[in-house]
Amino acid sequence: MGVCLATAVAAVTLAANSFTLGWTHSIEKILWEEDWRVENAALVLDAVRVRGYGAGMEPAPEAVLHDGVWEWHPRTTHEVLRLTRSGFTADYQWCVQGAACVPMSEVLPSDGGVTELRACDSGTAGRP
């Protein structure tokens, strides 16, 4: 299994069983990170880390504070993850274990709209 990413105009398939998405909140300027994994043709949100809190960024009730970082483990399952990407904010960071994090635009350029992520067969090409 892998991860398929698609916009309205392009798609890419990556052989990744787990990944981290990171971004900086546009108003609060606080880093948010989510650890995801592929399981049974779905995406599972394993962990969330937030380096502070503010407007719309409250930690979950079960979150624990470690060295200034709130962390919790939702372990929720998702068929599709939709990311809104705008030229007015910094892009998401795409991180896979053993490699440096890169702006998502290096993986799949933004069309200024929504990027969808799904679990898929890593041998599949085209739109997920």
Kindly report the pTM of this predicted structure: 0.88
Whether 111 shows a pLDDT value over 50: the answer reads yes
pLDDT tens digits, one per residue of 19-39 = 999 998 877 788 899 999 999
pLDDT tens digits, one per residue of 74-104 = 999 999 999 999 888 889 999 998 788 999 9
pLDDT of residue 125: 44
Neighbours of 56 (CB within 10 A): 8
d(CA 101, CA 95): 4
Q: Where are the domains of the chain?
A: 1-118
| Residue 20 · residue 34 · CB < 8 Å | yes
